[in-house]
Amino acid sequence: MEGKLGPTYSPDPEEYLRIGRVRTIPHDQLVLHPSSPLVRPQVAAPEDLQIMALPHNAAVPTGNSRSNKKSTVRISLLQMTCSDNTEENLRRTEQKVREAAEQGADIVCLQELFHMPYPCQQEDHRQFDLAEPIPGPTTERLAKIAADLKIVLVASLFERRSAGLYHNTAAVLDGNAGTVGIYRKMHIPDDPSYYEKFYFTPGDLGFRSFATSRAQVGVCVCWDQWFPEAARITTLSGAEIIFYPTAIGWLPEDKEPYGQSQWSAWETMLRSHAIANGVFVAAPNRVGREGRIEFWGASVIVDPNGNVLTRGTHDQEEIVTAECHLPQIDATRTHWPFLRDRRIDAYGPLERRFLDLTP
């Protein structure tokens, strides 16, 4: 029996697990930032965007096979502005991480290249001076905080791997286990004011997830989020939560005609990854104007049914937090068994750039 389809949200995962259905919220209650012309109820949950819910009589497992890990994990995303003072940015980030931990966060994820202005708006060789090795001074400093607070911390950095070899890299730091791994951004954009190919070598570690003391954590970075293959492979590696540290925003000439559509497309992709893979998805985005870019914030956490658990504003610094009940992953996948029904024998053409017509 299929679940009811409709443009609904589930802001309370505990209620979802308790009664086995999604509690609906009227569209007119979904305006999170009334002063912004870019958040409208009819766009926040368009009628043609169908959100899956479990059937009302779905059996939801109460136990789990996750050893002694907590079933419910509280995650926080830091949505922040950045100045030209990297030390001040880092100090403020440390303060916000501690604040999130005081509020009960188990995992904290920082935005893309979190402690510097986004460096890729021009092709400028001086920007390479912002890079550092991993491990290095910033990861050592953050690892100490993670250890002090007993949290997992995901941090996006400008990595200097060797002379002339740089990556856009996320480090996963576990307060109970130290650095558990890194992910190097695989998809590198080259768009106006996002000239990342000048700076970053594509990642060579593949799509991966990491066993932490709180959850199996997958990480992709920003531009990766437009590619369903990245989310799929990260899920197949065991990820329960996929984090997307992000730096995305509007150019002045684009905001009025395309701004709403651009933001909506970004969030829709994140929700689609959650639905297609039956995982939690979380994306912290920076906020504020830097150079020509107005970063649109709206950091978001999505459950395995694609429901928005929480979303940040477009123009304010904040800690965006939600609780993720991890047994919901199994409940969702057993009622919507997309992983079971994959035809892995038929996907060979995905290894080709394009399926050219032949005579």
pLDDT at 296 over 60: yes
Strands (DSSP E) found in the chain? 5-6, 51-52, 72-79, 107-109, 152-162, 165-174, 178-184, 190-191, 194-195, 209-211, 216-219, 241-243, 249-250, 280-283, 287-290, 293-296, 300-302, 308-311, 318-325
For the residues 203-225, what does the mean pLDDT come to?
98
Distance of CA 65 to the CA centre of its chain: 25
For residue 47, is it within any domain? Answer: no
Q: How confident is the model at residue 69 (pLDDT cuts 50, 70, 90)?
A: confident
d(CA 174, CA 154): 9
The SS3 call for residue 209 is strand
Catalytic residue among 185, 196, 220, 294: 185
**Among 19-33, 163-177, 220-234, which is the least confidently predicted range?**
19-33
Q: How many domains does the chain have?
A: 1
Length of the chain as a residue count: 359
For the residues 28-54, what does the mean pLDDT come to?
38
For the residues 314-337, what does the mean pLDDT come to?
98
Catalytic residue among 109, 222, 240, 294: 222
Of 34 and 287, the structure prediction assigns the larger pLDDT to: 287
For residue 174, is it within any domain? Answer: yes
pLDDT at 24 over 50: no
User: In the prediction, which pLDDT does 359 show?
Assistant: 62
User: In the prediction, which pLDDT does 70 show?
Assistant: 86
d(CA 167, CA 155): 14
pLDDT at 89 over 90: yes
* Dihedral (CA of 220, 80, 274, 20) sign: positive
For residue 304, is it within any domain? Answer: yes
For this structure, is 222 an active site residue? yes
Amino acid (one-letter) located at 271: R
d(CA 346, CA 349): 8
For the residues 127-139, what does the mean pLDDT come to?
97
For residue 185, is it within any domain? Answer: yes
For the residues 317-334, what does the mean pLDDT come to?
98
pLDDT at 210 over 90: yes
| Buried b / exposed e along 239-268 (16+ C-beta atoms within 10 A) | bbbbbbbbbbbbbeeebeeebbebbbebbe
For residue 313, is it within any domain? Answer: yes
User: In the prediction, which pLDDT does 71 show?
Assistant: 94
User: pTM value?
Assistant: 0.83
For the residues 146-170, what does the mean pLDDT come to?
98
Q: Work out the mean pLDDT of the chain and round it to a whole number.
A: 86
CA dihedral of 197, 201, 202, 207, whole degrees rounded to 10: -130
For residue 282, is it within any domain? Answer: yes
For residue 239, is it within any domain? Answer: yes
Structure tokens at 247: 């730096």
For the residues 231-249, what does the mean pLDDT come to?
98
Other beta carbons within 10 Å of 190: 11
User: In the prediction, which pLDDT does 66 show?
Assistant: 55
The SS3 call for residue 142 is helix
Domain extent, residue 171, equals: 71-338
Catalytic residue among 82, 96, 109, 112: 112
For residue 125, is it within any domain? Answer: yes
pLDDT at 14 over 80: no
247: number of CA atoms within 13 Å, CB side?
A: 29
pLDDT at 65 over 60: no
For this structure, is 4 an active site residue? no
CATH number at residue 303: 3.60.110.10
